[in-house]
Structure formats: structure tokens, C-alpha cells
Chain A
């Protein structure tokens, strides 16, 4: 994802080596993704759903008609 957009940065964080970060973001299971310190994505999702959730941080509520992810 970072590779295709100059505005995106990704960090793969080894949770056991950085317990402070794991605590800060309340990581109780992996994989867990935290986007801009706001949105959390739990588990490994299919590509479309993952990107949908990651980008949801940019469009607060509203504009999300069809791609609603079922949980």
C-alpha cells in the first residue's frame, strides 16, 4: 500500500519486542492494524475489505454506500 501512494507509510511492528506499543494500542491478538491511531482492523481481511477499512479513517461516517463490510 505504501508502495503505491506517497502519502502512505506502513510499519510492521513486532509486538513482543515493543510491549509499550502493544499496550498503547491494546494489542491482544494479531494481526492487528492501527490506522492513523484511530481505526483498528482486526485479523487478516481480504484485500478489498482491508483497504475499505483502512481508508474509512479518511471519510468520517457518511460516504460509504455499497462496500459496507459485513461483520
Chain B
């Protein structure tokens, strides 16, 4: 049984239809000691059937620690939203590391189960990386693009 109602599935399918490039969700998990990993996987599994532009890749925090580190992930469940394919979305900046032109890390991460409002945020991130125009004003986009030292934002939320 699906976690998403048929009506919402239709809405999502429609939104995903606008995507111009592929998005891969790296799902960081571990086998033991993660109460919410299964639930997170179940939520993520709802998405690929709604769009051929969305794929899920599971990364085991313990077995693939190096990869987790590369994405700045040290706890689970976590999700990294990355752009896929070379002819990618305008505005995505290749990080340089890794396979050039194949994976473009958006540096957008989710820690914890993407339920409730976090689910909406995840969908927004997928659409953004999938090619939708950012909601930032031009002035703000320029200010941010000029940032030349590392800036890490942690946004705390609770399920609603």
C-alpha cells in the first residue's frame, strides 16, 4: 500500500513532469541501530515510480564510510540530493570532485525521516535540482554566488 494518496501522487507526477534533468537521492542508512531508516526508505521508494527522472541509491554508512564522509554525512537516516547527467540543470555548479559532469552535488542534505513538512521540502529540493528556477531573487542569488568561504547551514525542524 502506498504512503501517498492517489490524488497526491497525481500532483507529484505532474510536478515531476516539469523536471529537465535527472536527480539522484543518496539514501544513507545502516543495518543496525537505526529506528527510522526503514520508514525513510519506504518514503523514498514512493518517488521513482512517479518519475523516470528520480532514482534512489542506498549508501551504507558503515560499509561505505568514505562515501558518506565525502557527502558530509555522519549519521542516519540522511539524504543527499544530487543532480545526475552531463547536460545538467542551469545554475548547478560542478563540485569538481568525483566523476566530472556526471554527478553534481547540490549540497542539500536531509537528516532524519522526511515526513510531514520535511517531505514537502524534499520534493522542493528534488524539483530545484531537477531544473526548476530557484525562488531566490536575482540580487540574493548574486550575493550567495559571491560567497567564497564555506558556509554550513543547519535548519532544525520538527515533524508536523
Contact = CB atoms under 8 A, between A and B. Distances in A.
Interface stretch (B1-9, B11-19, B88-96): B88-96
A51 B139 CA distance: 11
Contact of B107 (A10, A14, A33, A54): A10
A9 B43 CA distance: 23
Contacts, number: 150
Contact of B154 (A1, A11, A16): A11
A62 interface: no
A12 B145 CA distance: 21
Contact of A13 (B106, B148, B157): B157
Contacts of A51: 140, 143-144
Contact of B151 (A7, A15, A16, A27): A7
Interface of B: 36, 72, 75, 91-93, 95, 106-113, 118, 121, 128-129, 134-137, 140-141, 143-159
Name the 9 nearest CB pairs between A and B, nearest first.
Answer: A14-B112, A2-B107, A17-B112, A9-B107, A6-B93, A15-B156, A13-B111, A11-B109, A27-B156
Given A25-B154, A31-B155, A54-B153, 8 more contacts: A2-B108, A4-B134, A5-B93, A8-B151, A10-B107, A11-B154, A25-B156, A30-B157
